[in-house]
Chains A and B, each alone.
Chain A
Amino acid sequence: MTFTVISNPSVAPDFARSGPRRIEEGDAIALITNRQFHVCGANMRGEVPLLHESLAGAFLVGANAPKHLAEIRRANPLIPLIIEPVALKDYWATATEPFLIEGDPGRLFAMSLDATLDWQRMSGSHLAITPTGQIRVGDSGSLKAALVGANALDRKDVLFALPLEAGWLSEPQHLKQLIAVIDRSRHPVLLMFTSKTNPIESTKRLRAYRQLFTQVTVPVIAYRADIVGFDALAHGALASAIGSYPSLRRLNPVGQHGFAMDPEDLSPHMLVADMLRFVRSTHMRRDWFAGVAAIQCFCMVCRGQEVDRLHGSNSERVIGHSHNVVAIDNLYSKYVNLDQAKRRALWANQTVGALNTYPQLETHIGRPVKIPADLLAWAS
């Protein structure tokens, strides 16, 4: 049992499926396969130690990532660590320059793409990521230029990053082209979408996202995802990488900030795994459990405390994000070593189980709770 009040038996952790494992450094597909990845930002030094050594890995994000990497590795030698290049969030791709070649300060001239990836590896990243700039919706020139550049690389330690405006999922022709481009990649694709809010918010985009993973024939990682990463996993994704807080579960478009309904509310979004959703602590406290006992969480971070207890201070936010990291690994533990059909069946059971938690919660609080559109779409 993870929570009181609600129960979704299909999400119960099963760590017996995984065992000790070495890091397949430099081999992208081997390293990514059968691992759940986390996108770790400001609290990377606190989150990585919480990851499960036999099944988890981390993408380290932000300016401090290279600085902290060595320290984090020393403390967690069995966790794969990959540094996200800044190009993904700070640069618009063009048809002539799809990649932002990060400069080696000691060199007078720009490095080649190959040398940039070598530099990432020398900085300690277990894999390299192409520094692809964000690609505007319909900018086929940049998309194809990035493909050509990546395909020219003759190495197996690279992930071909595709940071795309969310509109690529809205228009069937763009989606078709995206699938065709991914299918021509020599490398596993690190796929992410940009938006000021949830990029895969609508049912239409959820369907398109699923269609993409169902149709592509090249390994693709659902990167900077939320729970939709599990839907991707169930429909063909090689892996997913989920962030512990909202801005790590998407990319903001270059030069823009995310949109929040209530920017004053800084309390953490807590993963309620049985419901397959993140819910802000404040929301649960005010809207769900104002007049009844809050549900308790028995994960290794919460240890039986109420799931709505956290407020907006930094220390409390960190606790909430740590809960999320642990809950994501728990959720993934059942997927280890499952074939595609079994993953899909497991996800189907988990989504049905999540739907069943709503009547349980409603009975407890005495009024209806709206089921999110994404859960309805996943369960369909």
Chain B
Amino acid sequence: MSNFRARGELLEALRLSRGLTQVQISDATEISQATLSKLESGQAEIDGDKWDRLADLLGVPSSAFYDIQDSVAPARIFHRKHKTTPQTAIRKVGAELALARLRVNDLLGRQRTILRRYDLDGGFNSPQEIALLLRDELGLGREPIGDLVAVLESAGAVVLRWPLETIHVDAVASWEDDGLPVILIGAHVPADRQRFTMAHELGHAVMHDADASEDQEREADAFASEFLLPGECLRVEWPINASVETLIPVKRRWGLSLAALVRRALDLSLISEREYRAWNINLSTTGMHRREPEPTQRENPTALSNAIHAALDSGTSLDELASRAYMYPREFELTFLEETA
């Protein structure tokens, strides 16, 4: 990729990630909007002083614009669409994800993933089948997944906790053809929901290749349900006289909320629609919909911080690592070390 183009993509990604418009940048740097537009599309060049001004405004070292080689094109992201989510917010997260992808690639030294994409074949293959195939390929068999984040990280996916509350989504994921799958999990997501959310995003990553439609959202949900708890297992473990008490051990073992277990039971015809309604009324009237007994433990991403700590231990300086990530050291620490600690 030409340096002009890469530099332009970095500029656009940084601008969007900071929530700025070209007009705002133009006002602050006295670089015309037309020039900024051409810069972002790799069709213009400016002198070093102006690049310094841009770097200063965007909070990155000036070297970032000279060192950049790789594409920072906006990531194709999968996320649950909300009518209230502004498009600018979506673009901001897309830019953040693209930057995260770039930074992670540099920090992890071109790590490879063992994940692959699967074909739904017009519905002939179901998301549930693909979930089981992936389980087999990851060596998970039909056993409970203790730490889903660890499973994803060991498969070569990158998981980061990220402030996503402002766009009202639980998570976003991206998987460019030549890179690693990156999943950003909203920092606001409760532990009970986090596992399902991650599995949902994993489903998008392995099954879909464009912005998710409503249909694809349902496919990702179906994938996540089966991936976290295969139907054939719940059939065996569903108690004969299911109650909150008898379901707690199942919840504990599989790391799913009671509400999710009951929904699975309905989907598998283990309970009737009438029983499902009764369960929901019970969970709602007892307040368990909001606060379930024995809440699931939060899982934390560790692979990236471990890699960074290993680099620090081997003598690489924080400044150097931050520079490789096109960041100042403080932002680097806040983003990749403190946040995952």
A residues neighboring B (CB under 8 Å) = 136-141, 165-167, 170-174, 176-177, 179-181, 184, 195-197, 201-202, 204, 253
Q: How distant is the Cα of A201 from the Cα of B215 in the complex, in angstroms?
A: 24
B125 on the A face (CB < 8 A): yes
Interface centre among B218, B231, B269 (most CB of A within 10 A): B269
B126 touches A138 (CB 8 A): yes
A170 touches B266 (CB 8 A): yes
For B226, the chain A residues whose CB sits under 8 A away are: 138
For B129, the chain A residues whose CB sits under 8 A away are: 140-141
A137 touches B218 (CB 8 A): no
Which of A138, A165, A179, A201 lies in contact with B128, CB distance below 8 A?
A138
B139 on the A face (CB < 8 A): no
For A202, the chain B residues whose CB sits under 8 A away are: 273
B124 touches A184 (CB 8 A): yes
A137 touches B268 (CB 8 A): yes
Which of A137, A166, A180, A204 lies in contact with B124, CB distance below 8 A?
A180
For A165, the chain B residues whose CB sits under 8 A away are: 269
Q: How distant is the Cα of A179 from the Cα of B235 in the complex, in angstroms?
A: 24
Q: How distant is the Cα of A184 from the Cα of B129 in the complex, in angstroms?
A: 18
Distance in angstroms from B240 CB to nearest chain A CB is: 13
A-B contact number at CB 8 A: 66
Known contacts A138-B126, A180-B123, A181-B124; is-contact A173 B222 (Cβ 8 Å):
yes
Distance in angstroms from A208 CB to nearest chain B CB is: 12
Per-residue A-contact encoding for B224-239, CB less than 8 Å = 1, 0 else = 0010000110010000
A171 touches B122 (CB 8 A): no
Which of B122, B219, B232, B273 lies in contact with A173, CB distance below 8 A?
B219
B111 on the A face (CB < 8 A): no
B222 touches A171 (CB 8 A): yes
For B121, the chain A residues whose CB sits under 8 A away are: 180
For B215, the chain A residues whose CB sits under 8 A away are: 172
B43 on the A face (CB < 8 A): no
Nearest B residue to A203, CB-CB: B273
For A166, the chain B residues whose CB sits under 8 A away are: 269
Q: How distant is the Cα of A298 from the Cα of B140 in the complex, in angstroms?
A: 65
B127 touches A201 (CB 8 A): no
Known contacts A165-B269, A166-B269, A171-B222; is-contact A136 B124 (Cβ 8 Å):
no
Given contacts A137-B267, A172-B218, A195-B269, 16 further A-B contacts (CB under 8 A): A136-B268, A137-B268, A138-B126, A138-B226, A138-B268, A167-B269, A170-B266, A170-B269, A171-B267, A173-B126, A177-B123, A195-B272, A201-B273, A202-B273, A204-B273, A253-B269
Per-residue A-contact encoding for B116-140, CB less than 8 Å = 1, 0 else = 0000011111111100000000000
Tell me the B203-222 residues at the A interface (CB within 8 Å).
215, 218-219, 222
B273 touches A177 (CB 8 A): no
- A and B contact pairs by CB, cutoff 8 A, 22 listed: A136-B268, A137-B231, A137-B267, A137-B269, A138-B226, A138-B267, A138-B268, A140-B125, A140-B126, A141-B129, A172-B215, A173-B222, A174-B126, A174-B128, A176-B126, A177-B123, A180-B121, A184-B124, A195-B269, A195-B272, A196-B272, A204-B273
Nearest B residue to A199, CB-CB: B269
For A177, the chain B residues whose CB sits under 8 A away are: 123-126
Nearest A residue to B266, CB-CB: A170
Q: How distant is the Cα of A139 from the Cα of B122 in the complex, in angstroms?
A: 18
Nearest A residue to B215, CB-CB: A172
Which of A170, A179, A184 lies in contact with B267, CB distance below 8 A?
A170
Nearest A residue to B214, CB-CB: A172
Known contacts A136-B235, A138-B128, A173-B222; is-contact A179 B123 (Cβ 8 Å):
yes
B272 touches A197 (CB 8 A): yes
B268 touches A173 (CB 8 A): no
For B125, the chain A residues whose CB sits under 8 A away are: 140, 177
Known contacts A137-B231, A179-B123, A180-B123; is-contact A173 B128 (Cβ 8 Å):
yes
Q: How distant is the Cα of A64 from the Cα of B13 in the complex, in angstroms?
A: 75
Nearest B residue to A174, CB-CB: B126
Interface centre among B121, B215, B222 (most CB of A within 10 A): B222
For B272, the chain A residues whose CB sits under 8 A away are: 195-197
Q: How distant is the Cα of A197 from the Cα of B272 in the complex, in angstroms?
A: 9
For A172, the chain B residues whose CB sits under 8 A away are: 215, 218, 222
Q: How distant is the Cα of A174 from the Cα of B129 in the complex, in angstroms?
A: 10
Q: How distant is the Cα of A121 from the Cα of B231 in the complex, in angstroms?
A: 38
Nearest A residue to B219, CB-CB: A173
For A141, the chain B residues whose CB sits under 8 A away are: 129
Which of A137, A180, A197 lies in contact with B122, CB distance below 8 A?
A180
A173 touches B218 (CB 8 A): yes
A167 touches B267 (CB 8 A): yes
A167 touches B268 (CB 8 A): yes
Nearest A residue to B235, CB-CB: A136
For A170, the chain B residues whose CB sits under 8 A away are: 266-267, 269, 273
Nearest B residue to A197, CB-CB: B272
Nearest A residue to B267, CB-CB: A171
Q: How distant is the Cα of A38 from the Cα of B128 in the complex, in angstroms?
A: 36
Q: How distant is the Cα of A22 from the Cα of B334 in the complex, in angstroms?
A: 83
Per-residue A-contact encoding for B129-166, CB less than 8 Å = 1, 0 else = 10000000000000000000000000000000000000
Nearest A residue to B265, CB-CB: A167
For B235, the chain A residues whose CB sits under 8 A away are: 136
Q: How distant is the Cα of A184 from the Cα of B266 in the complex, in angstroms?
A: 28
Nearest A residue to B122, CB-CB: A180
